[in-house]
Amino acid sequence: MDKFHQHLENYRVNVKEDIEKRLAFIREQIDGPGLGGAVVGISGGIDSAVTAALCVRALGKDRVIGVWMPAYSQPVHEADSKNLADAIGLNLVTVDVGPAFDALVPAIQDVLPLNDKTKGNTKARLRMTTLYAIANQQGYLVADTCNRSEVYVGYMTKGGDGLADFNPVESLTKHEIRILAEELGVPGAIITKPPSADLWEGQTDEQEMGFTYEDLDRLLITGETRPEALERIEYLHRISEHKRNLMPGI
């Protein structure tokens, strides 16, 4: 067994202990300051599923709100979001951000045209606006769902899914997230589905990044990966540095 798979096997053996550590972290963020609970954006994907499952275990279902925010989203993601809610006892609400997107994008395009990526990022920022409105009204915090793999290459939207109050999964690679998902009872269809940010039809993470999660996670876990992938990974890491640091000022 190579170093990569040995690491994952070790994580699988110790996953229950890791869960307890993350539950304690969530309680510290919410109960420490005396806040009401947590809001989690639910995408139908594995990262938000794991984040929501951890929050429900840590705080109880009455103190967690999951928000499904479609914007011309694929039906499979809605179905998976509902199945997740049933599986983990999540209070799931729906806010359709499609009408806001339809109103905002034409107004911006009166100034300059937007490509698919920029439109997708606009959806992500509308979703975060929604989460913060709910959190603000309830006295809750917004839970981030970005994992270690995504953070390393900046695969998140600044002001969108890259913005939140705390993150219970930030130190986990995508492969570790999958192991954790199994232990938390996340539905299998979510675990095996090709990861997608649901920013436009047919979009997948790996297609957009230009390498696989195994390429990326091997680098993060072992320090080694395919040479063809390494250059692209380090390029994305370099140009996304601004997403991982506080805004500079003078």
Q: Which residues are catalytic?
A: 47, 150
Give the tokens for residue 242: 């601004």
d(CA 224, CA 215): 9
Residue whose token pair is 């603000």: 136
Residue 117, annotated ligand binder? no
Residue 41, annotated ligand binder? yes
Q: State phi, psi for 129 to the nearest 5 degrees.
A: -60, -40
Residue 47, annotated ligand binder? yes
Instruction: List strand residue ranges (DSSP E) for the chain, in order.
Output: 38-42, 64-68, 91-94, 141-143
Residue 158, annotated ligand binder? yes
Contact between 8 and 214 under an 8 Å Cβ cutoff? The reply is: no
Q: Is the dihedral of CA 210, 213, 219, 220 positive or negative?
A: positive
Residue 48, annotated ligand binder? yes
Residue 26, annotated ligand binder? no
Residue 174, annotated ligand binder? yes
Residue 149, annotated ligand binder? no
Give the tokens for residue 35: 């806040």
Closest CA to 174 of 159, 157, 198, 153: 153
Residue 165, annotated ligand binder? yes
d(CA 82, CA 224): 38
Residue 30, annotated ligand binder? no
d(CA 26, CA 167): 8
- Residue 54's alpha-carbon distances to 144, 168, 180, 182, in angstroms, are 12, 8, 10, 12
Contact between 209 and 237 under an 8 Å Cβ cutoff? The reply is: no
Residue 82, annotated ligand binder? no
Residue 20, annotated ligand binder? no
Residue 43, annotated ligand binder? yes
Binding site per annotation, positions for ATP: 41-48, 145, 174, 196
Binding site per annotation, positions for Mg(2+): 47, 150
Binding site per annotation, positions: 41-48, 125, 145, 150, 158, 165, 174, 196, 242-243
